[in-house]
Structures are given as C-alpha cells and as structure tokens.
Amino acid sequence: MEDMASLGAGLAIGLGALGPGIGIGLLAAKAMESLGRNPDASGLIQQNMILAIAFTEAIAIYALVVAIIIKFV
C-alpha cells in the first residue's frame, strides 16, 4: 500500500508541474517577443508577466500540497 501512495504522490507532482512548466515557458517566450517588438512598454509587460508567473506557479504548489497529502496521510 505504501508503494501505491509513493507512486500516486510522484504522479501528482510530476503531472501537476508539467502544465505550469509549459505555461511559464510560453509566457516568458511571448513576453520576450513583446519586448522585442515594443521596448517602450517593458515596465507594463514585465509587471504583467511576473503576475501571470505567480498565478501559474500557484498551480504547481497546489500539486505539491496534494502530493504531500497523498504521501503522508
């Protein structure tokens, strides 16, 4: 039974971090593209990028919490 909990926790964090990882990569790529096209808007682009990264990273933290709960409860 312990092995199944470890497997479930590993899958939870592995799959739960996959989406945010892709999302942050796409977000950074588009932000750099936007900065290249309009360097004058760098402050606004950077502010919105950091806010979006924080929201995206929160999803990975939720997956980590679920994995910890699966593992230890």
For 3-22, how does the pLDDT look when each residue is reduced to its tens digit (9 = 90+)? 898 999 999 999 999 999 99
Determine the pLDDT at residue 28. Answer: 93
pLDDT 10s digits, 34-69: 999 999 999 999 999 999 999 999 999 999 999 999
Determine the pLDDT at residue 22. Answer: 95
**Which one, of 2, 19, 4, 11, lies nearest residue 67 by Cα?**
11
Determine the pLDDT at residue 61. Answer: 94
Write the burial class of residue 12 (CB in 10 Å: 0-12 exposed, 13-18 middle, 19+ buried). Answer: buried
Q: What is the CATH number of domain 2-72?
A: 1.20.20.10
Look at residue 71 and tell me whether its pLDDT is greater than 80. Answer: yes
